[in-house]
Amino acid sequence: MPQFSRRAVLMQLGASGLAALTPGAALAQNRYAELDTQPWSYLDGNEARFLASMADVLIPEDDFPSASQAGVVDFIDLQLAGPYGQGAGLYLEGPFGDGTPEQGWQADHTPASLIRTGIARLERDDTRLVDLDADEREEFVTRLSEGKDFDLGDVPAKTLFDEIWALVKEGYFADPIYGGNKGYAGWEMVGFPGAHAYYPDHVDKNAPFPAPPRGIAHVPGTRHSADTASALRGADTPKEEG
Amino acid sequence: MATQLPKTDVVIVGAGWTGLAAAKELADAGQRCVVIERGDWRHDASNFGAPEEHDELKYARRKEHMIDTPTKTLSFRNNADQTALPMRRLGSFLPGKGLGGAGIHWNGQLWRPLPSDLEMRSHYADRYGEDILKGMNVQDWGMTYDELEPHFDFFDRVCGTSGVAGNLNGETQDGGNPFEGPRSSDYPNPPMKASPPLQMFRDTAEQMGYNPFHMPSANVTRAYENAYGAQLHPCTYCGFCERFGCGYFAKADPIVCIYDVVKDHENFELRMNSQVLRVEKSEDGKTATGVTYVDENGREVFQPADTVCLNAYALWNVHLMLVSGLGTPYDPETGEGTVGRNYAYQTIAAASVFFDENVWSNPFMGAGALGMTIDDFNGDNFDHSDLGFVGGGYISANQTNGRPINYHPTPPDTPKWGAEWKQAVRENYLHHVGIVCHGSSVAVPQNYLDLDPTYKDAYGQPLLRMTFDFPENDRKMSAYVLSKAEEIARNMDNVRAVSTVNRAAEGEKYSIVPYQTTHNTGGAVIGSDPKTSVVNRYGQMWDHHNVFVFGACLFPQNLGYNPTGPLMGLAYWTLDHMKNDYLQNPRPLMDA
Ligand SMILES: Cc1cc2nc3c(=O)[nH]c(=O)nc-3n(C[C@H](O)[C@H](O)[C@H](O)COP(=O)(O)OP(=O)(O)OC[C@H]3O[C@@H](n4cnc5c(N)ncnc54)[C@H](O)[C@@H]3O)c2cc1C
């Protein structure tokens, strides 16, 4: 199968996803832009489109980027290709039983194979999540999150949802060295200043801490200040302005 | 065939808090010590520096400092009617591996038990009558608070603990915990700073007639030279304690506080990447002869020793006993046997407080033991006459971290994902604090540890099997303590919403999935009766007098406090008896 570039694949996201690809300020600033011309490490085009559509239902665009805009699909691709996706930290000796929810992960899959197999079975009749409209996507993700109505063989639907949702949050909020959280989207959104942390003079003060985020790779963020965040919040919910 | 090495005086399994303390004390006492540790060598100076260590994905999510389940895990079920299945991924607890053990990625909340905790059965029976303990295996520890106090005091000076004393030599002190047992000396260091939500918690708790105080903390508040001459530095409130190593030398850990001062000792030898498989026994079975381990090159090696110390963490000490045939395994059908008996956990609940925009909690400014606490509902600090349960917990507004992958407090009724979720995360992140209820856990006959019949670890040994659910007593306790926490939360100013979560809620089973605490206790408990304890009151095995056991596996039931202070008090107590009595004349220190 031909290896499409990330951008080319995500370009096919469909109506509600298209905005995701307009190179806005956040995307232009991202230091991983060079990745966009490279092929995927683990995912194929269908899987990437599925994950992008689902991720953008979970974390949609508002004043801050959507999940796929923030590089979450790149992040998931790299994670699934790496040790985590290949089963590091996962005991995979049989026999496998269904178990109870309290007993945790019991699927006979690595995260990478769980997601690949899960998506293939969800889309086996060629209805693609990416082709659904916004409401239908939302409805699909809701059903998947409840683990109902899906027969995915040895892939428990709830486990699949939980795994993707965990990866989406990681991709949105992990240090940008892992390919997600582009332009510090996640950190700017909440007001987390990053990995360079030294607060003995501030911890007991009731005051905002307006520092631009900086990650492990020392790249300073652009936009954030607690004031900005505050103003944005105020605009949405005026009565709560303090 | 295993390669046999020359004999040593003492072999120590595990290089965490208890193992390195044992090595230091026994090496100083002239014993040649070999410490065998299954994980990697590492050091605060070379391995835990910021900003690289401040990597939430790598350490908090992928759990690089913790055990690797494909090599080492256990199986789990809620009750004996279920089939135990392997804990395939880490979740509820995060045991360590490597130099320093879990002492590297702990928080540093450093407590002592209440005097009455150590005599729990006698205390409750005296005050309320035996019946209150019906159906529980609650026991006395076999020694008193006064006997352990010098050892708690010493460990405070190993860690440079910060706090405000509540009881100095019997005199109640302002600002401290009025319920604590008498301290022979004050905290070595002043308390941590209080963040705005902690200040608000203190004021509200005080107004409600409670007794708030700074949580005792091993996140050091000023430059400090510890009891062994090691140097610690002040905490930066960086918010990367739990699950991370501390490159600032500010969180007391076994490497900085102990390893550095014993590493060049002529009596000290450390073997890394070496997995102890079992303790070998003499032909008559009365003593241990040493340990067999797989060394860093995959060779099986026998290390003979006069004395064996088990310092492998609570769960793995019990596992080693079971696979080595030390002591008698517990049988839940008959109630006989002791190894694996009285496994208990920590009962956790919490109230989440959502402030308005006037309160900036800035949760990323935090520290593992940054907390404002009340002890009014812990242990038997309150009247249990009509409550229908024993035990309790501390209630503490804690500000440990605001790490953004995991820290997404949202008010009640917020959807779990999507646009509204995103908006709520953004609005609440800088304006929230959690109030934890850190509750005790009683031992009951149906909760225990044994060997799994089906699943094996990477060395071909059967997995440890955990059978556990929250006892009815603890569910009632937890609901009660949580209701008190919620009341405080609702009385605080500038509060928009409060939500609660209770891991031991009525009708819900203990789940091995969400993180709760790495406070697994019991399974090899200490005591003065060989029918109900694995080791005598000195930490010496009843059945094998040259095997000494360390760690939270000794707790007959779990306290409302974090375990490391209590278990290190016990460790120094045991080491004291080894150095000053046993080693001169090896024998059982108590008659069975
Ligand atoms: C995230 C987290 C937060 C915590 N926070 C707190 C807190 O705030 N306050 C508190 O009191 N406690 C806390 N704890 C608990 C604390 O870490 C433990 O109580 C303490 O480390 C126990 O010391 P130990 O010596 O018994 O075991 P450990 O420190 O775990 O050391 C045991 C060592 O033995 C090694 N080992 C095990 N089996 C073998 C074998 N077969 N062969 C060779 N080596 C072996 C392990 O690799 C490990 O290094 C926390 C724990 C965690 C994980």
- Name the strand (E) or helix (H) holding B592: none
Residues 6+ apart with CB under 8 A from B206: B212
Q: How confident is the model at residue B521 (pLDDT cuts 50, 70, 90)?
A: very high
Could you please report the per-residue DSSP string of B309-359?
A: EE-S-HHHHHHHHHHHT-S-B-BTTTTB--BTTT-B--EEEEEEEEE-TT-
B36 lines ligand 1 (CB under 6 A): yes
Decide the pairing of beta strands B3-4 and B300-310.
Answer: parallel
Give the active site residue among B123, B431, B432, B519: B519
> Among A155, B521, B270, B49, which residue's Cα sits nearest to residue A147?
A155
Cβ pair A240:B357 closer than 8 A: yes
Cβ pair B70:A199 closer than 8 A: no
Q: What is the rounded CA–CA span in Å between residue B571 and residue B539?
A: 8
Using the 3D structure, point to which of A174, A189, A204 is the last residue of a domain: A189
Four-CA torsion B25, B27, B28, B29, nearest 10 degrees: 90
Question: What does pLDDT average to over chain A?
Answer: 82
For residues A174 and A203, membership in a common domain is answered with no
For residues A59 and A117, membership in a common domain is answered with yes
Q: How many CB pairs under 8 A join A and B?
A: 198
Does the pLDDT at position B432 exceed 90? yes
Helices (H), chain A: 6-10, 15-18, 25-29, 45-58, 72-81, 111-122, 134-146, 157-173, 185-190, 226-236
* Token duo for residue B312: 């492998």
Decide the pairing of beta strands B33-36 and B268-271.
Answer: parallel
Decide the pairing of beta strands B8-13 and B33-36.
Answer: parallel
B113 lines ligand 1 (CB under 6 A): no
For residues A92 and A33, membership in a common domain is answered with yes
* Candidate from A16-30, B395-409, B450-464, B553-567 with smallest mean pLDDT: A16-30
- Residue A95, preceding bond cis, omega within 30 degrees? yes
Residue A56 belongs to some domain of the structure: yes
Cβ pair A199:B425 closer than 8 A: no
At residue A220, the 3 state secondary structure works out as strand
Instruction: Name the residue of chain B whose CA is nearest to A134's CA.
Output: B418
From B427's Cα to the closest Cα of chain A, the distance in A is 7
* Token duo for residue B135: 């159906």
Query: How many Å lie between the centroid of ligand 1 and the Cα of residue B239?
Result: 20
* Token duo for residue B151: 């050892």
State the residue range of the domain holding A204: 193-242
The tens digit of pLDDT for each residue in B239-285 reads: 999 999 999 999 999 999 999 999 999 999 999 999 999 999 999 99
Instruction: Name the residue of chain A whose CA is nearest to B364's CA.
Output: A192
Rounded to 10°, the helix B472-491/B196-207 angle is 100
B457 lines ligand 1 (CB under 6 A): no
* Token duo for residue B449: 């540890």
pLDDT at A20: 41
Measure Cα distances from B17 to A115, B22, B313, B327 in Å: 40, 9, 9, 24
The percent of residues in chain A predicted with pLDDT above 70, rounded, is 76
For residues A172 and A221, membership in a common domain is answered with no
Q: What is the rounded CA–CA span in Å between residue B295 and residue B269?
A: 14
Task: Please give the average per-residue pLDDT across A3-14, as a whole number.
Answer: 57
Residues 6+ apart with CB under 8 A from A229: A188, A189, A190, A191, B426, B430
Is residue B341 left, alpha or beta, with left meaning phi > 0 and alpha meaning psi from -120 to 50? beta
B321 lines ligand 1 (CB under 6 A): no
Q: What is the rounded CA–CA span in Å between residue B495 and residue B488?
A: 11
For residues A97 and A15, membership in a common domain is answered with yes
To test the ligand 1 pocket, which listed residue (B38, B73, B275) has its Cβ within 8 A of the most ligand atoms?
A: B38
Residues in chain A with CB shorter than 8 Å from the CB of B425 are: 189-190
The CA-CA-CA angle for residues B257, B259, B260, to 5°, reads 80
Does the pLDDT at position A235 exceed 80? no
Atom 46 of ligand 1 has which residue's CA nearest to it? B97
Query: How many Å lie between the centroid of ligand 1 and the Cα of residue B446?
Result: 25
State how far Cα B315 lies from the chain centre. Answer: 11
> Among B62, B527, B82, B154, which residue's Cα sits nearest to residue B341?
B527
Residue A108 belongs to some domain of the structure: yes
Does the pLDDT at position A3 exceed 90? no
The CA-CA-CA angle for residues B419, B425, B431, to 5°, reads 150
For residues A159 and A203, membership in a common domain is answered with no
* Token duo for residue B154: 């010493």
Residues in chain B with CB shorter than 8 Å from the CB of A230 are: 357
Q: What is the rounded CA–CA span in Å between residue A119 and residue B83?
A: 30
The tens digit of pLDDT for each residue in A101-144 reads: 999 999 999 999 999 999 999 999 888 999 999 999 999 999 99
Atom 13 of ligand 1 has which residue's CA nearest to it? B106
Residues 6+ apart with CB under 8 A from A41: A77, A78, A80, A81
Query: How many Å lie between the centroid of ligand 1 and the Cα of residue B520?
Result: 10
Atom 39 of ligand 1 has which residue's CA nearest to it? B312
For residues A183 and A199, membership in a common domain is answered with no
Query: How many Å lie between the centroid of ligand 1 and the Cα of residue B497?
Result: 36
Residues in chain B with CB shorter than 8 Å from the CB of A65 are: none
pLDDT at A34: 44
CATH classification code of B3-43+58-582? 3.50.50.60
The percent of residues in chain B predicted with pLDDT above 70, rounded, is 100
Does the pLDDT at position B168 exceed 80? yes
From A215's Cα to the closest Cα of chain B, the distance in A is 8
pTM: 0.94
Does the pLDDT at position A10 exceed 80? no
Atom 2 of ligand 1 has which residue's CA nearest to it? B106
Residues 6+ apart with CB under 8 A from B249: B44, B45, B231, B232, B233, B256
Does the pLDDT at position B550 exceed 90? yes
pLDDT at A37: 67
Q: How confident is the model at residue A7 (pLDDT cuts 50, 70, 90)?
A: low
The tens digit of pLDDT for each residue in B337-383 reads: 999 999 999 999 999 999 999 999 999 999 999 999 999 999 999 99
For residues A231 and A177, membership in a common domain is answered with no
The tens digit of pLDDT for each residue in B449-499 reads: 999 999 999 999 999 999 999 999 999 999 999 999 999 999 999 999 999
To test the ligand 1 pocket, which listed residue (B564, B567, B570) has its Cβ within 8 A of the most ligand atoms?
A: B564
Residues 6+ apart with CB under 8 A from A127: none
Q: What is the rounded CA–CA span in Å between residue B84 and residue A93?
A: 14
Higher pLDDT, B94 or A32: B94
Task: Please give the average per-residue pLDDT across A13-19, as a whole number.
Answer: 44
Cβ pair A59:B417 closer than 8 A: yes
Does the pLDDT at position A229 exceed 50? no
Q: What is the rounded CA–CA span in Å between residue B352 and residue B348?
A: 13
For residues A28 and A103, membership in a common domain is answered with yes
pLDDT at A149: 83
Query: How many Å lie between the centroid of ligand 1 and the Cα of residue A189?
Result: 36
Residue A1 belongs to some domain of the structure: no
Sheet containing strand B448-456, edge to edge, reads B85-86, B74-77, B462-467, B448-456
Partners of residue B275 on adjacent β-strands = B294
Task: Please give the average per-residue pLDDT across A37-63, as a whole number.
Answer: 93
Cβ pair B418:A89 closer than 8 A: no
Could you please report the per-residue DSSP string of B438-449?
A: EE-B---TT-EE
Is residue B113 left, alpha or beta, with left meaning phi > 0 and alpha meaning psi from -120 to 50? beta
Residues in chain A with CB shorter than 8 Å from the CB of B94 are: none
To test the ligand 1 pocket, which listed residue (B65, B277, B518) has its Cβ within 8 A of the most ligand atoms?
A: B518
For residues A204 and A164, membership in a common domain is answered with no
Cβ pair A190:B455 closer than 8 A: no
B163 lines ligand 1 (CB under 6 A): no
For residues A18 and A76, membership in a common domain is answered with yes
The tens digit of pLDDT for each residue in B191-220 reads: 999 999 999 999 999 999 999 999 999 999
* Candidate from A12-16, A169-173, B359-363 with smallest mean pLDDT: A12-16
Q: How confident is the model at residue B333 (pLDDT cuts 50, 70, 90)?
A: very high
Does the pLDDT at position A225 exceed 60? no
For residues A141 and A122, membership in a common domain is answered with yes
> Among B251, B254, B248, which residue's Cα sits nearest to residue B53?
B248
Does the pLDDT at position A228 exceed 90? no
B396 lines ligand 1 (CB under 6 A): no
> Count of domains in chain A?
2
Q: What is the rounded CA–CA span in Å between residue A94 and residue B71?
A: 14
Instruction: Name the residue of chain B whose CA is nearest to A216's CA.
Output: B51
Task: Please give the average per-residue pLDDT across B584-589, as a whole number.
Answer: 98
- Name the strand (E) or helix (H) holding B570: helix B564-580
Could you please report the per-residue DSSP string of A149-205?
A: S---TTS-HHHHHHHHHHHHHHHHHS-GGGS-SGGGHHHHHHT--BS----TTTTT-
B95 lines ligand 1 (CB under 6 A): yes
Is residue B330 within 8 Å of residue B339, measured between CB atoms? yes
Q: Is B43 a catalytic residue?
A: no
Cβ pair B88:A197 closer than 8 A: no
- To which residue do tokens 């026998």 refer? B302
Cβ pair A170:B405 closer than 8 A: yes
The percent of residues in chain A predicted with pLDDT above 90, rounded, is 70
DSSP-derived letter for residue B501 is E
The tens digit of pLDDT for each residue in B529-545 reads: 999 999 999 999 999 99
Q: What is the rounded CA–CA span in Å between residue A139 and residue A129?
A: 11
Amino acid letter, residue B532: T
Q: How confident is the model at residue A35 (pLDDT cuts 50, 70, 90)?
A: low
Structure ipTM: 0.96
Q: Where are the domains of chain B?
A: 3-43+58-582
* Candidate from A4-8, A61-65, A71-75 with smallest mean pLDDT: A4-8
DSSP-derived letter for residue B524 is S
* Token duo for residue A236: 């949405």
Is residue B489 within 8 Å of residue B396, measured between CB atoms? no
Higher pLDDT, A223 or B519: B519
Residues 6+ apart with CB under 8 A from A84: A111, B62
Burial zone of B130 (CB within 10 Å; 0-12 exposed, 13-18 middle, 19+ buried): exposed
How many angstroms separate the first and last alpha carbons of chain A?
Answer: 56
Rounded to 10°, the helix A111-122/A45-58 angle is 90
- To which residue do tokens 């945790």 refer? A104
* Token duo for residue B543: 């059945």
From A117's Cα to the closest Cα of chain B, the distance in A is 19
pLDDT at A15: 40
Query: How many Å lie between the centroid of ligand 1 and the Cα of residue B164?
Result: 26
* Token duo for residue B167: 């009881």
Query: How many Å lie between the centroid of ligand 1 and the Cα of residue B145?
Result: 23
Helices (H), B29-144: 44-47, 120-128
Cβ pair A175:B509 closer than 8 A: no
Cβ pair B89:A236 closer than 8 A: no
Using the 3D structure, point to which of A165, A189, A213 is the last residue of a domain: A189
Does the pLDDT at position A219 exceed 90? no
